[in-house]
């Protein structure tokens, strides 16, 4: 995995963590203070902060232990004359390197100021764009990649709405992702994903370029976003398409229009009108919150443009080149040559360098 240079040595990382050790001791004293304990809100906030710091420092200790083990195994590999032992050492090195990288990213992630949305659930919308049926097929490939990534992170997903294409692709699929730090794992995915390959629909074997758009929306809470029921126009109608005869016999499909913004959401995947309404409202709330955030971010101007990608769904963020077995992320000029592995859900090959680039920018600005 390609890696950007942020705190490459244990000494550098240890220095950066020194203030957190001091803060941990301060919190321990505060949590022993009866005055603080009498304030449940303050106690809860301090307890959460203490848990995060303790977890980070524990990860650092594990990081140092694994680094020491790595040096020992490397020495064994170079000094042994036993081929079998050398092979075992190689496998152990691979495993330890992976553990070390995971711990390192976990520590670095804790060093930057958190956006509250990083911990929230999110809604992911994938839509076929340029390229006709091939675009829809690739939209289905991306959906499969994301579901495998979700499983690897022990998260959960629920399909809220989908429109299949004629050749088993997806014209559109909208799904929610739930679990710890769901939005954190998907926050880099918004934008245009471009694929270059010979489509199944191409008889002459010519290379085609198609695109798919992805939007990732943090799911708002009731506190973050209140919607006046009088601002909603709700229509019910008979579902059509792939739902089958059981879906089509009743007016189970729901269309909700938010009058002030003009946002329209339709759901018809479920037989139950109530379930379709609940799903449509989830999508509607996320889209309205996104509109509000975009308005705020336009006011921020340069601060917004300095981020790793704007999150704009019109921004080309990534190219999947099948003939060259290469995925390129254009935001940090990252290229990796293990496309099949990534399409099987190993998205950390892309997410980790993006996260580290974001961390580097954040830490540079705090110097």
Based on the fold, state whether residues 350 and 323 are members of the same structural domain: yes
pLDDT band for position 322 (50/70/90)?
very high
Residue tagged 């191409």 (tokens): 202
Q: Which residue range(s) make up the domain with 99?
A: 10-111
pLDDT band at 153 (very low <50, low <70, confident <90, very high): very high
CATH (domain of 194):
3.30.70.1660
> In angstroms, rounded to a whole number, what is the distance separating the alpha carbons of residues 288 and 217?
10
Say what angle helices 40-79 and 83-111 make with each other, to 10 degrees: 150
Does 307 share its domain with 278? Answer: no
- Residue 217 and residue 349 in one domain: yes
Q: Has residue 150 got a pLDDT over 80?
A: yes
Model confidence at 366, pLDDT cuts 50, 70, 90, reads low
Does 32 lie in the same domain as 105?
Answer: yes
Please state the rounded mean pLDDT for residues 222-250: 66
Mean pLDDT of 126-154: 93
Nearest-angstrom CA–CA distance, 217 and 302: 22
Residue 2 included in any domain = no
pLDDT on residue 243:
45
Q: 212 with 309, same domain?
A: yes
Given a cut of 50, whether residue 155 has pLDDT beyond it is yes
What is the pLDDT averaged over residues 117-131?
86
- Residue 223: pLDDT band with limits 50, 70, 90: low
Residues 6+ apart with CB under 8 A from 310: 297, 304
Q: Please tell me whether residues 185 and 106 are part of one structural domain.
A: no
Is the same domain home to 30 and 45?
yes
Asked if residue 151 and residue 132 are part of one domain, the reply reads: yes
Residue-wise pLDDT tens digits, 29-66: 999 999 999 998 899 989 988 998 998 999 999 999 99
Count of domains for the chain: 3
208 and 305 belong to one structural domain: yes
| Residue 3 belongs to some domain of the structure | no
Instruction: State whether 205 and 312 are in the same domain.
Output: yes
64 with 77, same domain?
yes
Please indicate, yes or no, if residue 244 is contained in any of the structural domains.
Answer: yes
Count of H-run helices and E-run strands, the chain: 11, 11
Residue pLDDT, tens place only, 2-11? 444 556 688 8
* Most confident listed range (87-96, 141-150, 162-171, 191-200): 141-150
Helices (H), 153-233: 182-186
């Amino acid at each position: 995995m390609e890696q950007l240079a942020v705190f490459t040595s244990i000494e550098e990382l240890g220095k950066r963590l020194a203030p957190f050790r001091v803060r941990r001791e301060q919190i321990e004293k505060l949590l022993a203070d009866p005055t603080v304990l009498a304030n449940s809100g303050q106690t809860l906030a301090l307890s959460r902060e203490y848990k995060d710091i303790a977890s980070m420092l524990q990860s650092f200790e594990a990081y140092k232990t694994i680094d020491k083990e790595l040096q020992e195994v490397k020495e064994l590999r170079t000094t042994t004359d036993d081929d079998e032992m050398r092979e075992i050492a190689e496998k152990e090195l691979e495993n330890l390197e992976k553990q070390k990288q995971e711990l390192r990213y976990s520590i670095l992630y804790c060093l930057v100021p958190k956006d509250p949305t990083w911990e929230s659930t999110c809604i992911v919308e994938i839509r076929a764009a340029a390229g006709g049926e091939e675009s829809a097929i690739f939209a289905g490939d991306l959906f499969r990649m994301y579901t495998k990534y979700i499983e690897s992170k022990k998260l959960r997903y629920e399909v809220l709405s989908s429109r299949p294409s004629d050749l088993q692709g997806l014209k559109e699929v909208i799904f929610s992702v739930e679990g710890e730090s769901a939005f954190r794992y998907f926050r880099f995915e918004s934008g245009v994903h471009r694929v270059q390959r010979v489509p199944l629909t191409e008889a002459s074997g010519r290379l085609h370029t198609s695109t798919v758009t992805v939007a990732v929306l943090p799911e708002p809470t009731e506190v973050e976003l209140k919607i006046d029921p009088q601002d909603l126009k709700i229509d019910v109608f008979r579902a059509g398409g792939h739902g089958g005869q059981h879906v089509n016999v009743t007016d189970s499909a729901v269309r909700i229009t938010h009058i002030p913004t003009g946002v329209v959401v339709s759901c018809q995947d479920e037989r139950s009108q109530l379930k379709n309404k609940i799903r449509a409202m989830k999508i509607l709330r996320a889209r309205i919150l996104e509109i509000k955030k975009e308005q705020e971010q336009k006011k921020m101007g340069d601060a917004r443009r300095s981020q790793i990608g704007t999150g704009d769904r019109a921004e080309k963020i990534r190219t999947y080149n099948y003939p060259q077995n290469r995925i390129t992320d254009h935001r940090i000029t990252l290229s990796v040559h293990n496309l099949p592995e990534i399409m099987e859900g190993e998205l950390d090959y892309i997410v980790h360098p993006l996260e580290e680039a974001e961390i580097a920018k954040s830490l540079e600005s705090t110097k």
